[in-house]
Structure 1
């Protein structure tokens, strides 16, 4: 058991409180930004929920690192073109300006969004979340 367990419990409590406040203020409607609801986590039948506490179950995966990337576009070019690239070269992508950017987690599309700049740093505002059923369909096709 690690020594930072109290801080993890504190974080879980903060999330639970924030989710509860959101549910109260929005009245169940999803007019605002999408927020992950840890209390909606379900355990499949026969999964053996040892703790009986959904917050403990979600804590088990909170520290798993994942690769989050935003894809601006793609292109295919021959190797001889890659070898000719120099500073100032332009590589044309298949995406149009203003088109939604893909947000990938471990290579799987989870959302789309638009690029924003906040305090001279790039970010992405999520505009569309891929539903879990859509994600499963995409995974099964590959």
Structure 2
């Protein structure tokens, strides 16, 4: 569903959190390296600092576009037809960027849950 000039999209909130985390990381690195020299040493000395930054991961099954009147007519039990067919890959999106595609699968250790098996990882050139 495409909406314009409404409220900010949820991914913008995720981008704000990522930007805040990056700023916090810059502050920490600046404190560890007050002389301003090479900052790469700070990363190699404390990789957990970077690896603990939270990111939002979304699995996108598909999307739909409809007029507001149709949207307002939705009720419990309504079906929204998506732009993808059964068996087509789903997209794995991190902080608003597609990083991979995959297929829906059952989780091995808990068959009551499902997950995504990665089938394609986007290269730098193909990241949207």
Give the TM-score range, shorter chain: 0.5 to 0.7
TM-score (normalised: structure 1): 0.57
Following the alignment from structure 1 to structure 2, what is the Cα–Cα distance between the partners of residues 58 and 102? Answer: 28
The alpha carbon displacement at 1:133 in A equals: 3.3
User: Which of the numbers 62, 83, 104 marks the counterpart of 1:115?
Assistant: 104
**Is 1:66 matched with 2:58?**
no
- List structure 1 runs of 4+ shifted beyond 6 angstroms: none
Following the alignment from structure 1 to structure 2, what is the Cα–Cα distance between the partners of residues 66 and 94? Answer: 26
Aligned-pair Cα RMSD in Å: 1.9
**Structure with the largest fraction of strand:** 2
Residue in structure 1 matched with residue 88 of structure 2 by the alignment: 99
> More relative contact order in 1 or in 2 (CA 8 Å, sep 6+)?
2
TM-score (normalised: structure 2): 0.62
Unaligned runs of 5+ in 2: 1-36
Matched positions, count: 89
Deviations 1:83-110 (A, max 9, x none): 1111111100110110000000011000
